[in-house]
Structure 1
């Protein structure tokens, strides 16, 4: 297994923030799969979804996973919410599921209207809840380590991950 740490979980659970804090503490590079896709496509994910649809975006994620497995070591990788259900994640490194309940995620995101608007899958909250329920079991199945993140700061979560790896 490679020495990467991959953070998975539903959108809004803090993967990007925790990845940056953890990478800094571990003196590793930090990568964000959504940012890497946006850079390679030269447009925001919201635009990719509206122009090409979710299936095309998931295909981009699958291709990115192949590239990461072939070329990345010793990184902390924050993933998009759907990336965490990809098969073969454990071949990329240690998979850490940042677990948070749906209502808590909504509460966290609702304080930032820009965050809510930037997430195409949160347009329909009933569909988003169904998606959350469908993914939760897959996240647990894909994870080597599960961290409950409710009521914890980014620093506390990063420290807990460091202590368990």
Structure 2
């Protein structure tokens, strides 16, 4: 078993799918944003506000290097921009969770904790800019992915099952 790295736009459901994968497999899970928040003892939003995006991206690099050297047999959920780390392919199998921008926003807004979910994602504060960012990132996500899972009309359980089957075939 090697690492699985979940990439995709913020709010696509990486955390939800990760929770289902660990219920139905021998993987453990880590989240890159959670690791960064623990390292800095503050939220991603606060890091962006107080230290800027450049500093946050440097923290992502630190996490990526640690993951490559120290983490095995783990499902790694990443923040939306983590895919830019140069060593991603060395860390594990890259799985893109994909969905149209409008569906991602609808999914977040329909979530019981919608306000909290929107609040913790500073790059979603301006939906027009967020959509531009999505359009910029999506081709890059697709070019990096070893496996693509369209999450649009699927539950987290369905996505988890599909992911585990595809990872097994890819191995």
Greater Cα shift, 81-90 or 46-55: 81-90
Shift of 1:117: 1.5
Structure 1 segment 100-111 matched on structure 2, within 5 A: 100-111=99-110
Determine the structure 1 residue equivalent to 2:94: 95
Greater Cα shift, 109-118 or 13-22: 109-118
Aligned partners of 1:23, 1:141: CA distance in 2, in Å?
Answer: 26
Equivalent residues, number: 164
Determine the structure 2 residue equivalent to 1:67: 66
- Checking the alignment, whether the CA contact within 8 Å between 2:32 and 2:78 is kept in structure 1 is yes
- RMSD, matched Cα: 1.0
Unaligned runs of 5+ in 2: none
Unaligned runs of 5+ in 1: none
User: Aligned to 1:121, which of 120, 123, 135?
Assistant: 123
Aligned partners of 1:163, 1:71: CA distance in 2, in Å?
Answer: 26
Structure 1 segment 131-150 matched on structure 2, within 5 A: 131-150=133-152
Aligned partners of 1:42, 1:160: CA distance in 2, in Å?
Answer: 35
Determine the structure 2 residue equivalent to 1:82: 81
Determine the structure 2 residue equivalent to 1:22: 21
Aligned partners of 1:3, 1:48: CA distance in 2, in Å?
Answer: 31
Shift of 1:87: 2.1
Shift of 1:138: 1.0
Secondary structure of 1:104 counterpart: helix
Q: Please list every run of at least 4 consecutive aligned residues from structure 1 whose deviation after the TM superposition is greater than 4 angstroms.
A: none
- Checking the alignment, whether the CA contact within 8 Å between 2:65 and 2:87 is kept in structure 1 is no
Shift of 1:24: 2.3
- Checking the alignment, whether the CA contact within 8 Å between 1:23 and 1:75 is kept in structure 2 is no
Aligned partners of 1:133, 1:88: CA distance in 2, in Å?
Answer: 23
Secondary structure of 1:126 counterpart: helix
Aligned partners of 2:58, 2:6: CA distance in 1, in Å?
Answer: 20
TM-score (norm 2): 0.93
TM-score (norm 1): 0.96
